[in-house]
Amino acid sequence: MSQPDKVAARPVTAHATRRAPGAAAGVRRPGRPARSVDAPEQRDRLLGIALELFAQRGVVNTTLGEIARAAGVTAAMLHYYFKSRDQLLDVLIAERLDPIRERMIAALAGTEDPVELLVGLARQMVQIGTEHNWYAPLWMREVLSEGGGLRDRLEARHGRAKQAEFIERLQRAQRDGRLNPGLEPELVVQSLMGLTLLPLAKLNASGAGSGPALNPENIARHAVALLLGGVACVPRA
């Protein structure tokens, strides 16, 4: 082959072997997770880990980087699913907290008897806290506490209409003589949470075994006993 022929052949060889960026085997575009982890399961796993950390440390004290490290993924991968902590919180509310809220609303609609209503709510709270070990500590830390990272978000999203409706139901039951007139309706929900979520949060905390033996069954039983009979042992007629 002549020298000119060799020179002419080079561009053809180079052109034939050139690949577009990212087209080589095992190479992916920056910022996208690999196909094996680009799935709903990975997203759900990241949400679960974020909930656990928020419940343990608080929203303000937990960074996206810490969530990524706990999940064993890169910050870029977490950012692929959730662009910011604000977006992550909105997703957590919509996908994890709102379904629980719907369960509570359904419990409110289950009976007209005010005592059955309060007992049912207490049991529902214990059931939810048992199913989701992050729920009680997260709610106590981030919703009930002043300055909690979810409190204002939840109120902005849902308002206070359901809470006002519940209070009105209790007030109406008091006027009808079906509920203890000494109760303060606005404190009833807080009392229910104190009877259920507070001991559940302690149960889920590290080192909780140092106190009295607690489990979801006796927490629910204790709450119902207080709701129905108080603390005085009154002989039955």
pLDDT for 19 equals: 43
Q: How many domains does the structure of the chain reveal?
A: 1
> Is 186 within the bounds of a domain?
yes
- Do 45 and 73 form a contact (C-beta atoms < 8 A)? no
> Is 45 within the bounds of a domain?
no
> Is 3 within the bounds of a domain?
no
Residue-range definition of the domain harbouring residue 117 = 96-206+213-228
Q: Give the pLDDT band (50/70/90) at residue 71.
A: very high
pLDDT for 98 equals: 96
What is the arithmetic mean of pLDDT over 204-217? Answer: 65
Mean pLDDT, the chain, rounded, equals 81
With the CA atoms of 141, 143, 146 and 148 taken in that order, what torsion angle do they form, in degrees rounded to the nearest 10?
Answer: 70
Statement: residue 11 has pLDDT above 60: no
Positive or negative, the CA dihedral 164, 165, 167, 172 is positive
> Is 7 within the bounds of a domain?
no
pLDDT for 168 equals: 94
Q: Give the pLDDT band (50/70/90) at residue 217.
A: confident
pLDDT in tens, 136-158: 999 999 998 888 889 999 999 99
* CATH number, position 186: 1.10.357.10
pLDDT for 84 equals: 93
Q: Give the pLDDT band (50/70/90) at residue 206.
A: low
Distance of CA 23 to the CA centre of its chain: 40
d(CA 35, CA 41) in angstroms, rounded, equals 12
Percent of the chain with pLDDT over 70: 78
- Across 2-11, 55-64, 129-138, least confident range: 2-11
- The burial of 13, by beta-carbon neighbours within 10 Å (0-12 exposed, 13-18 middle, 19 or more buried), is given as exposed
Residue 230 C-beta-side C-alpha neighbours within 13 Å = 7
d(CA 124, CA 116) in angstroms, rounded, equals 12
> Is 127 within the bounds of a domain?
yes
> Is 72 within the bounds of a domain?
no
> Is 74 within the bounds of a domain?
no
What is the arithmetic mean of pLDDT over 114-132? Answer: 92
d(CA 106, CA 175) in angstroms, rounded, equals 24
The tokens for 167 are 């209070």
- Do 129 and 216 form a contact (C-beta atoms < 8 A)? yes
Contacts with 63 (C-beta within 8 Å, 6 or more apart), sequence order: 85
pTM over 0.85: no
* Amino acid identity at 197: L
Statement: residue 63 has pLDDT above 50: yes
> Is 48 within the bounds of a domain?
no
d(CA 182, CA 94) in angstroms, rounded, equals 37
